[in-house]
Amino acid sequence: MAAPLSLTEWLGTPRARLLLRWERELLGRLWPRFYGHSALAIGSWGEHLPIFPPRWRVETVGHEAGLHCGALSDLRHLPLLDASADLVILRHSLAFAPSPHQLLREADRVLSRRGQLLILNVAPWSIWGLGSRLPWRPMRLPQPMRLLGANRLADWLNLLDFRIEEAGSYGQALPEWTRRLRLGGVLRPGYYIHARKRRLPVRPLRSRWRAPAPAFGQVAMPPARSAARVISFPDTRT
């Protein structure tokens, strides 16, 4: 049985370089769909991001030392202000987070009210995912790495009130001639989810004060804001 690889060791393998190339190509295709000025890349893949357009300000927060990230942080508690980023990129950081759902909550917190979220993960049912679970591990992945399915993440995003704009797979798992089998999309090593916040700012309306309706047998009192009109009747008893 092959010895487990750390993240630093795995990023130096040919398979990791291939995955990073596929992800750079994917981000280059998706980049025109993002808008804003501030982006946050969470995870230890930050130094391999493509070149951002000049108008973007990009910060990277990693979870493992020695990978040239801008800062190191506990993925359960990001040291960032609320609504401070227009785009959050989670490149395999959910797979290494102690609590993936908590990391999604933190990403939701730091996103602006119309912020966007991009998730990249290794697919559990891909050739890479299945191969990493076999006893002899023909497809070794860095440890400890948790493989999360796209459907599970879609449920979590729905609970956090995100709308999924696009989802798909990337990479090449099988040779070119196997495309006739129509299995390439299912077995591709990676998948991505592009989601957007659905919550909009709401300003509560101040309701006008109304006097309660009088109960049966009681006399209604005049409103406090207007003076009561006094009407006198002639005395007809004499």
Q: What is the rounded distance in angstroms from the CA atom of residue 203 to the CA atom of residue 102?
A: 28
pLDDT-derived band at 231, boundaries 50, 70, 90:
very low
Q: pTM of the full predicted structure?
A: 0.77
What's 234's DSSP letter?
A: -
pLDDT-derived band at 208, boundaries 50, 70, 90:
low
pLDDT-derived band at 50, boundaries 50, 70, 90:
low
What's 113's DSSP letter?
A: E
| Rounded mean pLDDT, 179-202 | 74
Backbone angles phi, psi at 192, to 5 degrees: -135, 155
Residue 221 has pLDDT above 60, yes or no: no
pLDDT-derived band at 181, boundaries 50, 70, 90:
low
| Rounded mean pLDDT, 96-109 | 94
Under a CB-based contact definition with an 8 Å cutoff, are residues 154 and 85 in contact? Answer: no
Average pLDDT, the chain: 79
ω into 201 cis (within 30 of 0): no
CATH number where 101 lies: 3.40.50.150
Q: Which residue has the higher pLDDT, 181 or 149?
A: 149
Question: What pLDDT, on a 0 to 100 scale, did the predictor assign at position 228?
Answer: 46
Question: What pLDDT, on a 0 to 100 scale, did the predictor assign at position 174?
Answer: 61
Supply 157's token pair. Answer: 């995003």
Question: What pLDDT, on a 0 to 100 scale, did the predictor assign at position 148?
Answer: 93
Within-domain flag for 213: no
- % pLDDT > 90, the chain: 32
Those residues with Cβ within 8 angstroms of residue 33's Cβ, 6 or more apart along the chain or in another chain: 165, 166, 194
| Rounded mean pLDDT, 171-179 | 62
Which residue reads 């006094």 in tokens? 230
Within-domain flag for 214: no
Within-domain flag for 126: yes
Question: What pLDDT, on a 0 to 100 scale, did the predictor assign at position 32?
Answer: 87
Burial of 91 (0-12, 13-18, 19+ CB in 10 A): buried
Nearest alpha-carbon partner for 145 in 31, 14, 10: 10
| Rounded mean pLDDT, 59-74 | 76
Question: What pLDDT, on a 0 to 100 scale, did the predictor assign at position 85?
Answer: 95
Residue 144 has pLDDT above 90, yes or no: no
How many alpha carbons lie under 13 Å from residue 198 in its C-beta half-sphere?
A: 10
Write the CA distances from 69 to 24, 63, 75, integer angstroms.
17, 9, 14
Within-domain flag for 14: yes
Q: How many domains does the chain have?
A: 1
Residue 137 has pLDDT above 90, yes or no: no
Query: Containing domain of residue 181, as a range?
Result: 7-197
Within-domain flag for 217: no
Within-domain flag for 113: yes
Q: Which residue has the higher pLDDT, 2 or 19?
A: 19
Within-domain flag for 227: no
Within-domain flag for 172: yes
Q: Where do the H-state alpha helices sit in 56-208?
A: 93-96, 100-110, 127-133, 150-159, 184-187
pLDDT-derived band at 233, boundaries 50, 70, 90:
very low
